[in-house]
């Protein structure tokens, strides 16, 4: 029967738990580990500053209210690594050994500080415990400890055996790999945030300088364009991560299922873990692309046009795929142009985002949705054509789309900055030209009509 305490009336507010992405990963990992070993409860500790920090706690036998209270009792708990004789988790960590206790009330090796008090407080009975260090299978770092309690056989609590020890040893390697990759990605995201803060500071300084040089209007709009695109960029990153995360979940579920049925093979398990490593490398590469996109151009340079466009495509391709938009490219290879590499990426991305929005607004999911990108070079002039099949831009507004603050998306927060800034980049920063028109064409026997943006500028100078 649940306790009816007044101080628990707000417990269903999930924000109180301060759950982050690593916590979600640890909860899922612990849940699968408990299912494989038929354990009623469990917890995970992570190594932080020469101590084991409590991160996750689960217990199927307890009410939600009691789990809530126990989480806040333990959330700041740290077990010093210097006291291995005092704590079972610490000794498992420092000795790098899996330790099994059949019954904590009969064992004399440890005082099980807090466990018996916990049992008394919540009318619970902790009996069998298995504790395993989380050792990274590649660099041999010990990242923390996983602890499972009360193995169930039907309604009975039984002791953990040698098979459980073998299973947990294998599972702990996967857990360690997942935690290490998550920690690495979190570190990279922190680095990106720091770099974005530095970039924003530099951009603010640039704005102030341009104000002093009577270029206030252009500088402020450029700043707005960066900020406006940042929200779309974060959304694109989320799309990019969705498929790899799903792949990791599928691989880990398959490994868990085979282990649970006793059908696992060492070579297949290693292959699965390597697939997880490869997939997480893809996630890391997405972060690197994100960081590269927001790096400020300091000077003009010669750069490869195809690589520039492909970089812009990589940022948005997941969102295009999710919305069933086909991207067809026809690149004239080996085109080198002179200018600001990242600014042209932003201009290309703005046009792609505009085409994507037009397709979503004007075509249903059952319609064929196309975006075409063509490049060519002739007489030292480079042309980039980007067109869609979203029926074109209404004739009454086509002459206004490059005007500052002109937008047809006020209801969804449109600012009118994107295409204006695109024209500024192409014509002023890249010394080129940008035109738009409505075109009709045939593609694979499909009659299409849409907007075509034409960017034209000199090749390598």
| DSSP letter string, 165-218 | HHHHHHHHHHHHHHHHHHHHHHHHHHHHHHHHHHHHHHHHHHHHHHHHTT-HHH
Percent of the chain with pLDDT over 90: 23
Paired sense of beta strands 381-388 and 78-80, if any = unpaired
Supply φ then ψ for residue 136, to 5 degrees. -65, 125
Buried b (16+ CB within 10 A) or exposed e, 398-416: eeebbeeeebbeeeeeebb
Burial of 171 (0-12, 13-18, 19+ CB in 10 A): buried
- CA dist 327 and 315 (Å) reads 13
Q: At what angle do helices 266-293 and 162-212 cross, to 10 degrees?
A: 10
Mean pLDDT across 277-299: 63
Mean pLDDT of the chain: 78
- Give the rounded percent of residues in the chain with a pLDDT score beyond 70: 74
pLDDT above 90: residue 76: no
CATH number of this structure's domain 299-461, picked from the four choices 1.10.10.10, 3.30.565.10, 3.90.1750.10, 3.10.20.30: 3.30.565.10
> CA 77 to CA 87: how far, in whole Å?
12
Given a cut of 70, whether residue 426 has pLDDT beyond it is yes
**3-class secondary-structure state, position 413:** coil
Q: Give the residue, 318 or 456, on which the prediction is more confident.
A: 456
CATH 3.30.450.40 domain position(s) in the chain? 6-160
- Residue ranges of the chain that CATH labels 3.30.565.10: 299-461
Cβ–Cβ under 8 Å, residues 277 and 245 = no
Q: Output the pLDDT for position 13.
A: 36
Specify the CATH architecture of the domain 6-160.
Answer: 2-Layer Sandwich (3.30)
pLDDT at position 395 is 93
Retrieve residue 149's tokens.
């309690």
| Range from 284-293, 303-312, 380-389, 428-437 carrying the lowest mean pLDDT | 284-293
What pLDDT does 385 receive? 97
> What is the 3-class SS of 313-382, one letter each residue?
HHHHHHHHHHCCEEEEEECCCCCEEEECHHHHHHHHHHHHHHHHHHHHHHCCCCCCEEEEEEEEEECCEE
Q: What pLDDT was estimated at residue 221?
A: 55
> What is the rounded average pLDDT of the residues 225-230?
54
Give the residues across from 427 on adjacent strands. none
Q: How far is CA 107 from the centre of its chain?
A: 44
CA–CA separation, 428 and 24 (whole Å): 47
Q: What is the pLDDT of residue 167?
A: 87
pLDDT at 237: 61
pLDDT band (50, 70, 90) for residue 449: very high
Q: Give residue-wise pLDDT tens across range 122-151.
A: 778 888 899 999 888 788 888 889 989 999
- What mean pLDDT comes out for the span 88-94? 88
What's the CA gap between 329 and 352, in Å, rounded?
13
381-408 pLDDT, tens digit each: 999 999 999 999 999 999 998 887 677 6
* Residue 216 confidence (pLDDT) above 60: no
Residue 215 binned pLDDT confidence (cut-offs 50, 70, 90)? low
Q: Please indicate whether residue 357 or residue 459 has the higher confidence score (pLDDT).
A: 357
30-61 tens-digit pLDDT: 888 888 899 988 888 888 888 888 777 778 77
What helix, strand, coil percent values describe the chain, rounded to 5?
50, 20, 30
Instruction: List the helix and strand counts (H, then E) for the chain.
Output: 10, 14
Q: Is the pLDDT of residue 436 over 70?
A: yes
Between the alpha carbon of residue 363 and those of residues 217, 386, 390, 421, the distances in Å are 36, 18, 7, 27
Distance (Å) of CA 148 to CA 14, 58, 96, 221, 299? 25, 10, 16, 56, 57
Q: How many whole angstroms separate alpha carbon 272 and alpha carbon 138?
A: 14
Say whether pLDDT at 448 is over 50.
Answer: yes
Buried b (16+ CB within 10 A) or exposed e, 233-250: beebbebbbeebeebbee
pLDDT band at 334 (very low <50, low <70, confident <90, very high): confident
The pLDDT value recorded for residue 46 is: 86
C-beta atoms surrounding 281 within 10 Å: 12
The stretch 77-83 carries a mean pLDDT of 81
């Amino acid at each position: 029967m649940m306790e009816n305490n007044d101080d628990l009336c707000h417990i269903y507010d999930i924000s109180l738990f301060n759950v982050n992405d690593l916590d979600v990963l640890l909860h899922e990992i612990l849940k699968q580990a408990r299912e494989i070993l038929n354990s009623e409860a469990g917890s995970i500790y992570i190594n932080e500053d020469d101590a084991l920090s409590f991160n996750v706690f689960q217990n199927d036998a307890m009410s939600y209210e009691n789990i809530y209270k126990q989480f806040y009792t333990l959330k700041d708990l740290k077990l010093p690594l210097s006291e291995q004789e005092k704590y079972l988790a610490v000794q498992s960590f420092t000795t790098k050994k899996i330790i099994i206790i059949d019954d904590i009330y009969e064992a004399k090796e440890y005082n099980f500080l807090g466990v018996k008090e916990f049992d008394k407080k919540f009318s619970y009975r902790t009996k069998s415990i298995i504790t395993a260090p989380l050792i990274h299978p590649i660099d041999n770092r010990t990242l923390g400890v996983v602890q499972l309690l009360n193995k169930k056989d039907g309604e009975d609590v039984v002791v953990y055996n040698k098979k459980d020890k073998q299973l947990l040893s294998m599972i702990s390697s996967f857990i360690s790999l997942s935690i290490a990759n998550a920690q690495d990605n979190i570190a990279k995201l922190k680095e990106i945030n720091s770099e974005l803060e530095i970039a924003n500071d530099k951009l603010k300084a640039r704005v102030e300088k341009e104000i002093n040089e009577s270029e206030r209007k252009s500088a402020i709009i450029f700043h707005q364009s960066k900020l406006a695109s940042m929200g779309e960029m974060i959304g694109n990153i989320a799309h990019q991560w969705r498929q790899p995360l799903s792949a990791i979940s599928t691989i880990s579920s398959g490994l868990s299922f085979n282990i649970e049925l006793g059908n696992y093979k060492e070579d297949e398990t290693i292959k699965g873990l390597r697939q997880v490593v490869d997939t997480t490398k893809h996630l890391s590469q997405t972060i690197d692309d994100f960081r590269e996109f927001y790096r400020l151009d300091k000077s003009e340079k010669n750069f490869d046009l195809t690589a520039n466009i492909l970089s812009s495509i990589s940022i948005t391709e997941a969102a295009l795929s999710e919305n069933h938009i086909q991207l067809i490219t026809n690149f004239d290879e080996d085109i080198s142009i002179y200018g600001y590499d990242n600014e042209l990426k932003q201009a290309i991305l703005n046009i792609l985002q505009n085409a994507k929005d037009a397709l979503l607004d004007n075509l249903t999911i059952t319609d064929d949705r196309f975006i075409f990108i063509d490049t060519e070079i002739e007489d030292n002039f480079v042309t980039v054509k980007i067109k869609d099949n979203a029926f074109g831009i209404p004739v009454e507004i086509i002459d206004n789309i490059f005007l500052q603050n002109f937008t047809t998306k006020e209801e969804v927060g449109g600012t009118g900055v994107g295409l204006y800034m695109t024209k500024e980049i192409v014509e002023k920063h890249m010394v080129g030209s940008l035109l738009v028109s409505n075109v009709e064409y045939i593609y694979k026997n499909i009659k299409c009509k849409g907007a075509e943006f034409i960017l034209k500028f000199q090749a390598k100078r």
